[in-house]
């Protein structure tokens, strides 16, 4: 059993023993494109609760994104692992992952519409307080949730984990409604110092409430237990960092608790 499978197994044990977290396959559409999502929530909670969107890495809507949705559900939220590529497409090679991600990034109007379709599905779920919506994302997904915040989507909190920072449309003053959190690996070669400086200057100009956390020694994809295997297989600078993973998730949890007064 690899480390990711073990992490998912350990993550799931409390769901059956201590709570009633359930997962549902869901389908939603943007135009003619079918989007395959995964919704997780604790069915034992008898009241509506905040909803959290989870945007996948460039590999696509996979088990990792779903596991994060389940973790959020165990914390008392309803979480939707979204599908930004359509038809549930997943990549098993960086060339395909880059192509899929590029198709979305090069058409941000479509990306925004797909994100909004996922948001509406989450808002309309029976367990969700429709005005309490946040979003998190990983790698490609981290950059994507930052873009959605920049474009004024009605979100309470946006958190990017090892995501890209350059903006297709820089934030304007008064546009960003969300509090923004960025968790970055200080040794991530894909995120340059100039990207960090430009991002911070952009947030300051737009008067956004934000935080930027750099984890010393952490590389790209530091939250994903499968990162080492991907890195070795494709000769990429990917590496799991258990401490950075734990600390960043703890910071997210604390911020969500503060926003939603749990």
Give the model confidence (pLDDT) of 90-142 as tens digits. Answer: 999 999 999 999 999 999 999 999 999 999 999 999 999 999 999 999 999 99
> Tell me, what's the pLDDT at 16?
40
Q: Percent of the chain scored above 70 by pLDDT?
A: 92
> Tell me, what's the pLDDT at 12?
39
> Tell me, what's the pLDDT at 262?
61
Provide mean pLDDT across the span 59-73: 97
Indicate the range of 15-24, 30-39, 213-222 predicted with least confidence.
Answer: 15-24
d(CA 4, CA 205): 40
Residue 255 in this model has a pLDDT that exceeds 70: yes
> Distance between the two ends of the chain, CA-based, in angstroms?
36
Contact 91, 59 (CB under 8 A): yes
* Better-scored residue on pLDDT, 8 or 22: 22
CA torsion angle 255 225 79 51 (round to 10): 20
> Tell me, what's the pLDDT at 159?
98
Provide mean pLDDT across the span 182-207: 97
Indicate the range of 14-18, 39-43, 123-127, 170-174 predicted with least confidence.
Answer: 14-18
Which among 62, 61, 57, 80 has a CA at the least distance from the CA of 70?
80
> Tell me, what's the pLDDT at 19?
61
- The pTM of the full predicted model, rounded to 2 decimals, is 0.92
Measured CA distances, 62 to 17, 138, 195, 198 (Å): 25, 12, 28, 31
List the alpha helices (DSSP H) in 91-214.
94-105, 108-123, 140-150, 193-205
* Better-scored residue on pLDDT, 20 or 8: 20
DSSP single-letter state for residue 162: S
Residue 66 in this model has a pLDDT that exceeds 80: yes
> Tell me, what's the pLDDT at 178?
98
Residue 9 in this model has a pLDDT that exceeds 60: no
Residue 10 in this model has a pLDDT that exceeds 80: no
DSSP E strands in 18-90: the ranges are: 21-30, 33-42, 49-55, 78-81
Give the model confidence (pLDDT) of 144-169 as tens digits. Answer: 999 999 999 999 999 999 999 999 88
Residue 2 in this model has a pLDDT that exceeds 90: no
Contact 224, 218 (CB under 8 A): no
Q: Which domains does the chain have, with CATH numbers?
A: 3-260 (3.40.50.1820)
């Amino acid at each position: 059993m690899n480390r990711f499978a073990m992490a998912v197994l350990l993550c799931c044990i409390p769901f059956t023993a201590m709570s009633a977290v359930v997962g549902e396959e869901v389908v939603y559409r943007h135009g003619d494109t079918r989007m395959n999502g995964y919704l997780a929530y604790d069915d034992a909670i008898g009241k509506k609760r905040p909803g959290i969107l989870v945007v996948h890495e460039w590999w696509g809507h996979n088990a990792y994104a779903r596991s994060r949705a389940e973790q959020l559900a165990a914390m008392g939220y309803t979480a939707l692992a979204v599908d930004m590529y359509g038809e549930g497409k997943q990549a098993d090679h960086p060339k395909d992952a880059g192509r899929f991600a590029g198709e979305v990034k090069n058409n941000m109007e479509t990306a925004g519409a797909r994100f909004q379709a996922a948001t509406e599905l989450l808002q309309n779920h029976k367990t969700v307080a429709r005005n309490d919506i946040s979003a998190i994302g990983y790698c490609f997904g981290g950059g994507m949730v930052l873009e959605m915040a920049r474009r004024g989507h009605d979100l309470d909190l946006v958190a990017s984990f090892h995501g890209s920072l350059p903006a297709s449309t820089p934030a304007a003053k008064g546009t960003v409604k969300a509090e923004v959190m960025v968790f970055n690996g200080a040794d991530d070669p894909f995120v340059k110092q100039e990207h960090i400086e430009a991002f911070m200057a952009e947030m300051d100009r737009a008067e956004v409430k934000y935080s930027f956390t750099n984890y010393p020694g952490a590389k790209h994809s530091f939250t994903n237990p499968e990162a080492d295997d991907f890195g070795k297989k494709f000769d990429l600078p990917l590496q799991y960092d258990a401490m950075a993973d734990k600390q960043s998730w703890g910071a997210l949890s604390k911020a969500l608790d503060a926003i939603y007064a749990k």
